[in-house]
Amino acid sequence: MSVAEPAIADEKSLAAEVAVETEIRNLVAQTAVDAERIRSPLAGYITNSDDELGNLISELQELREFLKSEAERLQREFANYENMQQNVSAAANIINQTIGPWKSSIGDTQSSRTKPLVFGSHGKVKRWPFS
């Protein structure tokens, strides 16, 4: 072998190494570009999702407070209704006790009113009250 042949072989090997190194640099650069191209929209999506989750959490907290206040309002309404029902029942008992004696005396009077009354000589029967 001649001296020129190892030099050519070394040159070819050096050229191949340079080509591989260049290819690796190109791949690294392309990967970085691709990663940045993917990272940008992904970061936007993550930010939007984070903002949406924050909004959703605040809406749920507002809804929770609303439901809590509505439950308290309903409890007050039920308590007021129960109180009103007791007052009405007590008032009905008082009215019944007050009117009870009158009712029995009116009942005796009404039973006499339903008896037939005869007016005039023709014997027509009229009922009280007249209609």
Q: What is the mean pLDDT of residues 98-107?
A: 76
Q: What is the DSSP letter of 128?
A: S
Two structure tokens written together for 73: 């309002």
Higher pLDDT: 63 or 50? It is 63
Indicate whether 98 pLDDT > 80: yes
pLDDT over 90 at 19, yes or no = no
The pair of three-digit structure tokens given for residue 60, joined into one six-digit string: 């749920």
CA 30 – CA 32 distance, rounded (Å): 5
How big is the chain, counted in residues?
A: 131
Q: Which of 37-46, 51-60, 96-105 ranks highest by mean pLDDT?
A: 51-60
Kindly list the domain boundaries of the chain, sorted by start residue.
10-126
| Global confidence as pTM | 0.42
CA dist 114 and 128 (Å) reads: 6
Q: 1 and 10 in contact (C-beta within 8 Å)?
A: no
* Position 94 confidence tier, pLDDT thresholds 50, 70, 90: very high
- DSSP class of residue 2 equals -
